[in-house]
Structure 1
Amino acid sequence: MEETLCDISAFHLHRTPPQVLALMPTVPAAQTDKTRNRLKRHPLVRHVVGPTIHFMVTNRRKRSSAKCIRSHLASTELPFGCVQTTDLGINVTSPLFTLLQLAQHLSEEHLAMAMYEFCGTFSVFKPSTEIEDLLATAQQAGTLPANSWRRVTGQDGKPTSLWQRSPLISLDELRQFAVATKGMRGNRRFAKAAKTVTGATASPFEAQTSILLTQSRRKGGEGFPAFTNNQRIALSPAASMLANRSTCYADLLFDQRKGKKPLIIECQGRIAHDNTASAVSDANRTVALQHMGYEVVLLSYEQIALADRFDAVKRLLASHLGITYRRKTKNLRKREHDLRRNIFINWETLAA
């Protein structure tokens, strides 16, 4: 029977682009690799999941004694679909079940960040130098798989660790799984974190902004009204002329309230927007949305990540939303500091 990657190892696998996994040979089976020395040297271990491999077993007798393996015992019957096959000769826990396992040892904030990534249209994966060379060779040869993810380039034109892809799970699936696994280990934290996820974001920056704005003040956030992530907006004929497109997507959309215009927050990430073409496109889109009656606020990463700048930003947003901003107490400011410390990390190291 094929072994099943789980927990942190499964998380790393789900973050890995298909074009990288396509470079990997089949993982040696335990029956032919008793000491697991071949497994330790396998590219999947060296370049993706790391030196400690997490495998799920359904029987205590199947636990491995190899130092490089950590066995996780599935003590209850698994929900349907919790194990998926791969082309590598091993199985992997599904994205949802992987998150449930992570809930047993990640903080609620980091678990929510992992949920945002799986529900979103982005993944963060930094290839090793060896993998970079192999990817370049495959691209030149035209042998990259058809289901490859799109890699985002930085302002210097070089590839980054940010990749664009379709969501691995939906927000509805996330919340339904929280109900379906009630009583299982990790479910309580899983359910709490799932309630804080607002939708499908396109980058870590959008996810971090969503967390700061939507979390309650007692948890360090701002407790702002509900908003929609990546809302599709059909442009009017006049707005289409201004934007040179028929539709666009709002990063965060607050519906109209208290006589105020609907508010759109655009997260101007350093990776995706730092070039002339992007700046012109963003300007055209902003004018088009304003023409349709939307209030548009463009936010840079520094305005969210730096506490002193964010202090001014949150008051500005409150004004746009028709909210009287209440100054935070010393205790609430400490909780905000703690939340910011937890979410503004190197996203590449999430769950590491």
Structure 2
Amino acid sequence: MDTVLWGISAFLLHRMPPAVRAYVLDRANQGVSARADTLSTRAALRDEIGSPLHLLVTDPNRHHSSAVTRMHVWEGDMPRGAIVDVLPDFDHVRSVAPLLALFGMAPAMSEANLIMALCELCGRFSIYEPSAEVRVWLQGLIDAGSLSKLDGWRPVLTREGKLTSLWCRPPVTSVAEARKFAEAVSWRRGHKRFARAVMRAFDGAASPFEVQAALRLGLPRRMGGSGFPEIRVNERIPLSPAARLIAGKVVCYADLLIEGKEGTRPVIVECQSRLIHASREQSLADGERLMALQSMGFTVVPLTFEQLVIPSVFASVERYLARELGLRIAPKSAALQRKESELCRELFMDWTKLGRS
């Protein structure tokens, strides 16, 4: 029987860089017979993405679970493209598509976590925490300068060249595709909650920090956010001739762009990640970008993770942004304060554990 990953197992597989998938499956099938391929592959996947392994079945009579596998039945037609190959050379193991994996996870996730996971799939990053064995293998390739950038995946390293859990990659899907998918499963139980999360998600985020900042600032107050107007993430901004001279480039990208009331300057919030912005060269480039954007009439606000997380500090940031955008923020009631605390618990969880119930 083919292995078709479902839910959290499929989501974690789609987080895994293609080079790692190939390594794990190659190691699993070395020296075993074709008959043993499925069992050895399942064991290797459990070692890498955790146990039990969640699998899809379409026959209710095969709905059984064990300590190492958990079966999930899908009755009726499946959306187009619902099943995808893990890697071309491993036709005995497949997975549900990323959006279907997330749809299967949705009942066990908070709405905020569901939006976060959607933003990761629609963004340009993946969070992948390797096993000890795979970490050693990856670090060895990095140290030797021989890690393949398969399908555009690239690890983000520390200043010392050590592997982190953050990877840059092309988007897995898009909000437009997620909306089409939500319509395709509109007859399934739980589709309304999934569709609501899709309406809050956005394309183009480059890191969890950008997602956390955009959601804390942009979600409505009844959900615990600040309720600022539509926030555009990684907005492309062509530079004026004068700004090009300052920045040494023709275009910049705004981490978060917020338009205020008429007559106010647009505000760009720059997420100052220590990992991304720590080097001297990056600091100089950031300064040039900031000056170039300010010369074009933008208000640029650098935001650190601590400023986003610490309640008293964030309250000051929130008031400052509102003033710059010409907006009035009413005091939060006790109920809204509770909603804000609940949202922060969801947003600032360990992102590597997103979706794990």
1:145 to partner: Cα distance: 5.4
Residue of structure 2 in register with 1:32 after alignment: 35
- Cα contact 1:116–1:199 (8 A) shared by 2: yes
Q: Percent identity?
A: 37
1:284 pairs with 2:285: no
The 1:290–1:217 alpha-carbon spacing in structure 2 relative to 1, beyond 3 Å, is same
Partners in 2 of 1:163 and 1:348 — Cα distance? 12
**Alignment partner of 1:166: what SS?**
coil
Partners in 2 of 1:25 and 1:158 — Cα distance? 24
State the Cα deviation string for residues 107-157 of structure 1 (Å, max 9, x = none). Answer: 111111100100110110122221122224445383625325111123444
Segment drifting more, 188-197 vs 311-320: 188-197
The 1:198–1:85 alpha-carbon spacing in structure 2 relative to 1, beyond 3 Å, is closer
Partners in 2 of 1:238 and 1:124 — Cα distance? 38
- Cα contact 2:152–2:170 (8 A) shared by 1: no
1:129 corresponds, among 120, 127, 132, to 132
Amino acid paired to 1:46? D
**Alignment partner of 1:123: what SS?**
strand
1:104 to partner: Cα distance: 1.9
Partners in 1 of 2:298 and 2:336 — Cα distance? 32
State the Cα deviation string for residues 282-316 of structure 1 (Å, max 9, x = none). Answer: 11000000111111111001000111111111101
The 1:143–1:272 alpha-carbon spacing in structure 2 relative to 1, beyond 3 Å, is closer
Query: Aligned runs of 1:1-352 on 2, under 5 Å?
Result: 2-25=2-25, 32-33=35-36, 38-39=40-41, 41-42=43-44, 44-47=45-48, 49-87=49-87, 88=90, 89-139=92-142, 140=144, 142=146, 144=148, 146-255=150-259, 257-352=261-356
State the Cα deviation string for residues 313-332 of structure 1 (Å, max 9, x = none). Answer: 11011011100121111111
Tell me the number of residue pairs that the alignment of Structure 1 and Structure 2 aligns: 349
The 1:65–1:112 alpha-carbon spacing in structure 2 relative to 1, beyond 3 Å, is closer
- Cα contact 1:266–1:296 (8 A) shared by 2: yes
Larger fraction in helix = 2
Q: CA RMSD in A?
A: 2.2
Gaps of 5+ in 1: none
Normalised TM-score (structure 2): 0.92
Normalised TM-score (structure 1): 0.93
Segment drifting more, 60-69 vs 118-127: 60-69
The 1:41–1:171 alpha-carbon spacing in structure 2 relative to 1, beyond 3 Å, is closer
**Alignment partner of 2:270: what SS?**
strand
Segment drifting more, 18-27 vs 216-225: 18-27
- Cα contact 2:25–2:41 (8 A) shared by 1: no
1:65 to partner: Cα distance: 4.8
**Alignment partner of 1:99: what SS?**
helix
Gaps of 5+ in 2: none
- Cα contact 1:196–1:214 (8 A) shared by 2: no
**Alignment partner of 1:92: what SS?**
strand
- Cα contact 1:40–1:68 (8 A) shared by 2: no
